[in-house]
Amino acid sequence: MYAFNNSTQKLESIHASDKCALKVRDEDNIKNPYTGQIKLTSSGGMGVIADSNPQPTADGDDRSGWLFTKTSSGLGKFNYYFYSQGSSAKTLGDITSLKAEVSIDNYQSAGESLPHFAIYTKPTGSGDAGAWYHSRKEYCYSNEEDIFLGECIEIYGEEKPYNLTLKRQVKFNNITNTGECLDNEEILYITLQSNSGAPIDTKILVQSMGVEFGSSVSNFKLIV
């Protein structure tokens, strides 16, 4: 019998009598860690890209994913909306982990060259922090680990996700709250964004984005 050990991030053989805290993962999920895929030029892809400017492109080195390149000065950035409500509402307190596979191809400033997660909650009409959302919670890089040019890593917020992609994991635990950000606030959108203040030629490749709500996992691969 095999189980996935979240401490060692490896599949391990176990006996039925073993008293160990291992969580069994479906073999198909280990072979394919994605629950779906989003094509760059599809209607679904356009919904994820939304107001991103300039829009992402295919990678010139044939890596999988969407490549964002900032081509001019100004406030150009990407905003990838990778979660909105499905059959039932989820709250900030329901989130176990946020994650994305990214490569930083042009690194000039930790505060400006890296992407970050941003969660928006539904407006209530009372104490809303923005015109179309109640609160915003952002997860940014905190300079605790090195990030190398061109290295594909899995960035994450909150708890460390199961490392089914086998990428090096880097926690984004510099959290900024705008508004109340209470655990019971219902989620409107979850996004991965670049910084509008990033310098020209900032290049960020995103290969996947996902969120975990306990045992429920949504993890989309980006394709061109």
Contact 162, 3 (CB under 8 A): no
Residue length, the chain? 224
Q: Are residues 133 and 26 in the same domain?
A: no
- Sequence-ordered strand ranges (E) for the chain: 2-5, 10-13, 36-39, 66-69, 79-84, 97-104, 116-121, 136-140, 152-158, 168-171, 174-178, 187-193, 203-213, 216-223
- Using left for φ > 0, alpha for ψ between -120 and 50, and beta otherwise, residue 124 falls in alpha
Whether 20 and 36 share a structural domain? no
CATH of the domain at 203: 2.60.120
In this prediction, residue 131 carries a pLDDT of: 97
Q: Give the domain range for residue 202.
A: 32-223
pTM of the model: 0.84
- Closest among 100, 15, 98, 95 to 65, alpha carbons compared: 100
Q: Are 88 and 9 in a shared domain?
A: no
Q: Which pLDDT does position 215 carry in this prediction?
A: 87
Residues 23 and 58 in one domain: no
Q: Are residues 23 and 83 in the same domain?
A: no
**What does residue 157 show for φ and ψ, rounded to 5 degrees?**
-125, 155
121 and 185, same domain (yes or no): yes
Residue holding tokens 């997860």? 139
Same domain, 103 and 14: no
Total structural domains in the chain?
Answer: 2
Say if residue 91 is in the same domain as residue 173.
yes
Tell me, yes or no, whether 146 and 165 share the same domain: yes
pLDDT for the residue numbered 112: 81
pLDDT at 110: 66
10 and 71 assigned to the same domain: no
> pLDDT at position 20, please?
46
Mean pLDDT by 10 residues, the chain (224 residues): 44 45 46 86 96 95 96 91 91 97 85 91 97 98 89 96 89 96 98 93 96 92 96
**Burial class, 88, CB count within 10 angstroms (exposed 0-12 / middle 13-18 / buried 19+):** exposed
74 and 137 fall within a common domain: yes
179 and 123 in a single domain? The answer is yes
Q: What is the pLDDT of residues 20-43, one digit of tens each?
A: 444 444 444 455 788 999 999 999
